[in-house]
Amino acid sequence: MSMVRVFSEYERDFVEQADVAVVGSGPGGALLAKELSCAGHDVILLEEGPPFTPADFELDGGLSMARTLREGGLRTTRGYVMPTMQAIALGGGSLVNSAICVRAPASTLEDWCGEFELEHTSRADLDPHYEAVEKFLGIAPTPDDVLGDRNLLFRKACDALGYSSEPIARNVRGCRGSGECFTGCRARAKQSMDISYVPAMVKAGGRVLTSVQVQQVLAQGRRATAVTGRVVRPFSGEPSHSFRVDARVIVLAAGVMATPVILSQSGDLANHSQQVGRNLQFHPGVAVAGIFPERTNPQFGATQGYHSLAFIPEGFKLETLWAPPALLAVRLPGFAQALKQRLAEIPYAAIWDAIASCNRSLGHVRARRGTMDPVITWHFHPDDVLILRRALWILARLFFAAGARKILPGVHGQPPEMHSLEEARVLADSELRAIDLVCGGNHVFSTTRMHGDPGRGVVGEDGRCHDLDNLYIADTGILPQSPSVNPMHTCMALAHRIAGHIAEAL
């Protein structure tokens, strides 16, 4: 039997046994499964989505989202309404993200330790784990030859204003700057989990079940005994055969939205603290388009190749951005001929964005009745809106410092185009409401947060659920709050550490 089973290979209900069952093949789950397989344990990795080959990638933005993202890429929050994207594919979000790998700042981790009663989660504690991940995935700063004009203009702008900036470190090998990170890397430069940790896990003897939706964790007393669920058809989600995987250790790495839903559907498992599904945080992001006098050829270059961490103390991070133009165009203002005029300016455009650490803006996740889909509710705290207002102003300054002839800030109630810094000053001075922004809900955290106090968190620093002896969580849900930067690297570092704890426990 093949080590990676796909939908067409399930012919009947089945039961499997393993030392460890890992639910979810995103960065946390795939890494952990590989580490434990290489340590000699019998591991089964379960993934709800299908595995993609490069021939399966759809270059069209909308169709790509429909195939690789949950709810067809149309998932939104309630409360404050914004889109949020979670992947459903072997490799999880790593298949369609920009491969950004940034270590969390030491100051942020210090804050975590103080506020969440953590004793072993300082930067010094995590650095060996970050290093292990970097070595395996070849994480390195984006080289100049694949930056392209969009990224180089950002560097020029930061230099002009004296803001520190740097090429983004990414898990890529041999990037050609094709700018296709969000639809799947046809050049196979991006070391997404499906072509990095998963093959390594399989090589070490691990087994992978794709197109299986875990719906419940079974437990007896303080021990989780198995996961159960249904085989689901790729894309439609139509259920077919039932399955059960018995395991000595179970790891949930299904993601910030799915993990709490599984726990909830398992009889409110691991929820003595009443924190499962709560404390939901995002990195809400805004993007500004700048139009330059010369062509920027924006389709060339690393999707997100440059960033500035200069404003982390103020709560936001600046970075360059590229995505399928149809998705970026959603942010362009206008209609009819005015919209066409702006579309025609795409070859002259650069798009830069800001993501904010909004620790005051919280939400929660619960299961939609009768489904495994989450209902996501999140509220934007007015003080956190001010962070993004400040970020918009800084982005405006950067664009004009780089020589943009106009910017499109995408803020309701403000001029759709601003032609000078003086015009843009309104971004800094206006009364901005959350509903005036076109925000995206990037990066999600904390719905099964790590906390030293079992009464206030779901897992401890070893990733083990406080309420059970052998149930672990290894996705960004365990981050107690925003890591201030893109979370994938920190998620993988924590998963690497958790793998060590599990190996000791087995």
Partner 1 sequence: MGIWLLAALLLLWIGLRVFGGYRPLPPAVVTLTRREYAFVAAAADATFPRGGPIEPSGCDAGVPRYVDRYLAVVPARMRRLMRLLFFLLEHAPLFFPPGGPSGLRRFSKLSPSAQVAYLEGWQRSRFFPRRLVFTSLRSILTLGYLSDPEVQQALSLTPQEIDTPICEADGLWPRIGESRA
Binding site for partner 1 (CB under 8 A): 2-4, 6, 8-9, 50-56, 59-63, 66-67, 71-72, 74, 81, 90, 176, 178, 180, 186-188, 194-195, 198-200, 202-203, 210, 234-237, 295, 297, 299, 324-327, 329-330, 335-337, 339-341, 343-344, 346-347, 373, 412, 435, 438
What Å distances lie between residue 468 and 10, 135, 258, 436, 490, CA to CA? Answer: 31, 33, 19, 44, 24
Smallest distance from the beta carbon of 70 to partner 1, in angstroms? 8
Considering beta carbons, is residue 104 or 202 the nearer one to partner 1?
Answer: 202
Considering beta carbons, is residue 50 or 457 the nearer one to partner 1?
Answer: 50
Of residues 250, 278, 176, 299, the one with CA closest to residue 464? 250
Smallest distance from the beta carbon of 185 to partner 1, in angstroms? 9
Smallest distance from the beta carbon of 60 to partner 1, in angstroms? 5
Considering beta carbons, is residue 62 or 105 the nearer one to partner 1?
Answer: 62
Q: What are phi and psi for residue 390, nearest 5 degrees?
A: -60, -40
Is residue 103 within 8 Å of 488, Cβ to Cβ?
A: no
Is residue 194 within 8 Å of 90, Cβ to Cβ?
A: yes
Q: 3-state SS of 37-71? A: HHCCCCEEEECCCCCCCHHHCCCCHHHHHHHHEHH
Smallest distance from the beta carbon of 349 to partner 1, in angstroms? 10
Considering beta carbons, is residue 9 or 127 the nearer one to partner 1?
Answer: 9
Element (H, E) at 245: strand 239-252
Smallest distance from the beta carbon of 82 to partner 1, in angstroms? 10
Smallest distance from the beta carbon of 411 to partner 1, in angstroms? 12
Considering beta carbons, is residue 120 or 340 the nearer one to partner 1?
Answer: 340
Ordered strands of the 374-378 beta sheet = 78-79, 374-378, 363-367
Smallest distance from the beta carbon of 338 to partner 1, in angstroms? 9
Considering beta carbons, is residue 353 or 461 the nearer one to partner 1?
Answer: 353
| Spatial separation of the C-alpha atoms in residues 452 and 459, rounded to whole Å | 8
Helix (H, G, I), strand (E, B) or coil at 361: coil
DSSP for 191-227 reads: --GGGTHHHHHHHTT-EEE-SEEEEEEEEETTEEEEE
Considering beta carbons, is residue 43 or 309 the nearer one to partner 1?
Answer: 43
